[in-house]
Structure formats: structure tokens, C-alpha cells
Structure 1
Amino acid sequence: MDINSLFGLEGKTALVTGGATGIGRMAAEGLVRAGATVLLASRKEGACAAVAEELNALGASGKAIGFVGDVGSEAGIDALVAEVSSRTDSLHILMNNAGITWGAPLGQFPHHAWEKVMNVNVAGMFDLTQKLLPMLVASSSADDPARVVNVGSVMGEREMGDGAYSYSMSKAAVHHMTRILGKELAGHHVTVNALAPGPFVSRMTAFATHDEDMRSKVGDDVPLKRVGRDEDIAGCMLFLCGQGGSYITGAIIPVSGGINVMSGPNIFEQALH
């Protein structure tokens, strides 16, 4: 057994949507450090180009390339697929990370927030995967399948609205989509798994994680008593995308510090003390 090959990605090409910030940025660094060529796509070309430059300055064995990519419309997805096809003949890894959220109190949550969020987080993710499938299948084999990693959320697992109702429901849909595609694509030598993160420092969570004091308060409510770190995401990606993860599909990996197993108090606690 070659330990390095379990997590190494030399010669692999990956696409990370929403790769300029947050969880996408964390994953991209891990993939580059493991030797992959990482295509970073987001709506902001300048941000992707800047992150690609940062990653290429690490001196790692992989490299990053940044460009515009929008999964919010069918035309945008078609343009992204064309861009990827123009840059590589092989696609071994697809990380569907791009997503949006919307927050409003119950009773004030707008109808249009459902269409907007579900369109990007669910329909866009599915359509991009579907249209890149020929490239993924062509790059796969029984011994080394192509990998799709979707980004869900612990809010898609647990009964947590927190004012982000359409976001939570969309992530539950992402988890179910992952299981369905994991089943359907196994015969094509493509694995499909998902991450279900808890609180990480990102643009989406900046309202609650923008400084160390806020991050400490958020971490206090997590069973493992901290917010997520970059290496938590990178480690999961290297496991799922390296040789060590080649026999796993349809899994939802709870990268949430234990929030996924939180429950109410012991029902006998007061009686016994």
C-alpha cells in the first residue's frame, strides 16, 4: 500500500465552483497541495484570478486557474461547460460548491427567495453535473472512478431554519440528489458524495464569524467547541478524491463538529439528579 497515493492527486484535473471564497477556497488549496490542476470558477473573475495567483505562489505540485463561471442560469452553465472543455480534455473531480442563501424571519420570508435559492443550489448543481458527465465518465475507470463532491449543509440534516428556510430545504435536496446520483452513476465509475458543513468562516457566514470574538461564541454552541478550519474541508476532499475514497459513494460527510448528532436533553436527567 502506497500511503501517498491514498490522498495524492497528481495528474488529476478538478473544477471547483464558487472557488474564490469560503469552503470552495479551502478545498481548492487542499487539491492544489495534493498535486491537482484546479479550475476555479465563480461569478467574479477578478476574485478567482487573485485566488489562483495565491495558490500558485504556494510552491505546491499542483496549480490553479481562475475564470468566470455562473451556475445561476442555463446559459451560464452552458458557458461554464464550454469554458472547461476549452481548457482541458479530462475532468476527474467536480466540486459543486457554488451556492446562495436568503434570510428572513418566519412570517416575512418572501416567495421569490425560494425560486432564487433553489435555482442555484439545486437546479444549477444538477444541470452542471449532468452536462459535465461525459467528461467525468471519459476520465474514470473501475479502479479510479471520477469524483463528484456536492456541498450540502448540516442545516439540510437537522431541524434548523434560523431564518434561512429556502437554503435549508435546498441543502436537504442536495443530500438526496447526492444519494440518487450516487446510485445511478456507480455503474459509470463516478462516485457522488457530499459534505454537510457546520459553521465555517466564509462570506456567507460573515454576519456571525467576522471576528475572533464572534467565532468563539459560535464555537461555544458546537459540540466540539470550535468553528470549522480550512484543513477540515481540505482533509475531507483529499479523502473523497484520493485513492482512499474510491469505494465510497452516496455518502453525506458531516463536517459539522457534532451538530449533526445534537439532540435535546436526556429526558430522565432531572429525575435522576
Structure 2
Amino acid sequence: MSRFTNKVVVVTGAGSGMGAATAKAFVNEGAKVVLVGRTAEKLNNVAAELPTEQVLIAPTDVADPHAVTALAAHVEQKWGNVDILVNNAGVVVQGLAHELSIDDWDKQMGTNLNGVFYMVRAFVPGILKQKGNIVNISSVSGLGGDWGMSFYNASKGAISNFTRSLAMDYGQHGVRVNAVCPGMTETEMTSGITSDTKALDKFKDRTPLQRPGQSEDIAHAVLFLASDQASYITGVNLPVDGGIHASNGQPRQA
């Protein structure tokens, strides 16, 4: 399929994991993709596997509003208005709220929440002209709580509701806004769990499909929501979690 031929797509957190898989999937379907991330080396590694003419490497810290403004100007100069924005960049801060610091809070919110706002603010004017769409990467942690991850829950919960509000505000202008909410997915961020058999088994036991997600699982969902096949879908927070949300939370009995 070539659902995105000549579409301009921006993907943040594109240097690894879900962001890299999503960027590659868009390129494979004809899009021109801006790879955004803090580490140029990682972006270059991803770009090395893709056609040069379809990729723009753009090292940027999305937590820096001035850098994001400069990024938007650079992309517009290079390729014009953006059709699709994928806000994937994220970090995790773990611990109990009273034991963590203000710097921890600022780090969590700086990337996960502020970064999404800065990207939306910078790129929506062009997306409105294209009647394009936005896909945010929230999390199952944005739909319910976790133990020891209140800062992360707060940031992703905000993204889930930000997604709904943006969909309401921009729908009248032909712009759709959705979010994908991954469950446990094998990425660099979750390597501490996926490399620990006992820890991973706990997640498998909680997941009806009995496995962690792969980055490609998330990428497929992102591309669907960004495509014309989802033209009447907006304001959705789609769990891609192997069935975790099918449960009412009670412990397994058999």
C-alpha cells in the first residue's frame, strides 16, 4: 500500500523503538518523514535504512519551545506544510510523589506534556491548511493508574484528555486528532522489564495475548489512525495493549 504518497509527516522520538518503527512504516508507504529526536546519532542510524529523498533528520529537544519553533520553520522551508504530526517522544520518571523532586516533575512534564503542546502549537497552522491530522502517543498509563508512576500517569493522562479537546476544537476545520495508548511494549525504555524474566512474566500473565507488544504493533495503529481509512475517527484514545483493558481488574483465577 501507498496510503501516504507525498504526505509530509513529522515523528518525534524517532531515534528508536515505536518512533523509529512508525517513521519507517510511513516511509514505506510513500511519505516524506521528518525524524525528530534529541540524539543525532540515533536519527542517523534510522535514516541509514531509508531512502535519502524521503527523510529529513532534525535533531530537536521537544521540551525546548524555541527549538520547536525553529524546527517548524525549517520543515516548512524544506517541504512545506505538514500533513501528519506524530507526538511520540516520551520519558519515564518512577517513584513515590513525596520522594521525587521538582526537577523530576519538570523532566517528566517537559517532554511528555509540554513537548506535545509545543509541537502542536508550532505545526497546527500548517496542518489546518492541509486538513491533516495528529496522532499522539499516550499510554494505558494515561487511561488508569500504576503503582509508583504517578508523575508518568499525570503526564499521559493529560495527553489523553488534551487529545480529546484538540479533536473537538479542530474537527470543524477538517483536522482529526487521536491517540494510541500502548501497553507493555518492547523498547529501549522498557528494557529493564523485558530483560527480567520474572518481571516480564507478570505482564504476560496480565495480558490476554500473553506477550509484550512490539514497536511495529504500535506503528500499525498509528498509520491506521493517520490514514483516510480512519476519516470518521477523531478524539479516540485507542488502547493497543494485548487486551489488558478487556479486564475488570480482578485477579486471574484459572
Q: What TM-score do you get using the length of structure 1 for normalisation?
A: 0.85
Q: Does 1:123 align with 2:123?
A: no
Asked whether the equivalents of residues 51 and 66 of structure 1 are also in contact (C-alpha less than 8 Å), the reply is: no
Equivalent residue for 1:16? 11
Q: Distance in 2 between matches of 1:264 and 1:237?
A: 27
1:184 shift after superposition: 0.2
Kindly report which structure 2 residues correspond to 1:252-263, keeping only aligned pairs within 5 A, or say none: 252-263=237-248
Give the match's secondary structure for 2:240.
coil
1:36-77 CA-to-partner distances (Å, cap 9, x unmatched) read: 1111010111211110111339xxxx8332221111122222
Asked whether the equivalents of residues 71 and 120 of structure 1 are also in contact (C-alpha less than 8 Å), the reply is: yes
Q: Distance in 2 between matches of 1:106 and 1:129?
A: 28
Change (3 A) 1:244 1:231: same
Which has the higher Rg, Structure 1 or Structure 2? 1
Please point out which of 159, 162, 165 is paired with 1:174: 159
1:163 shift after superposition: 2.0
1:129 shift after superposition: 0.6
Q: Does 1:77 align with 2:62?
A: no
Change (3 A) 1:213 1:50: farther
Give the match's secondary structure for 2:135.
strand
1:211 shift after superposition: 7.0
Asked whether the equivalents of residues 22 and 219 of structure 2 are also in contact (C-alpha less than 8 Å), the reply is: yes
1:11 shift after superposition: 1.5
1:186 shift after superposition: 0.6
Kindly report which structure 2 residues correspond to 1:213-224, keeping only aligned pairs within 5 A, or say none: 215=200, 218-224=203-209
Equivalent residue for 2:226? 241
1:235 shift after superposition: 1.6
Number of paired residues?
254
Q: Which runs of 5+ in 1 are unaligned?
A: 141-145
RMSD: 2.4
Give the match's secondary structure for 2:49.
helix
Equivalent residue for 1:187? 172
Q: Distance in 1 between matches of 2:4 and 2:203?
A: 34
Q: Distance in 2 between matches of 1:210 and 1:136?
A: 40
Give the match's secondary structure for 1:202.
coil
1:64-123 CA-to-partner distances (Å, cap 9, x unmatched) read: 322211111222222222222232113110001111111124542223222221122112
Q: Which runs of 5+ in 2 are unaligned?
A: none
Q: Does 1:264 align with 2:249?
A: yes
Amino acid at match of 1:30: A
1:106-165 CA-to-partner distances (Å, cap 9, x unmatched) read: 54222322222112211221121112111111222xxxxx010001000111221x3221
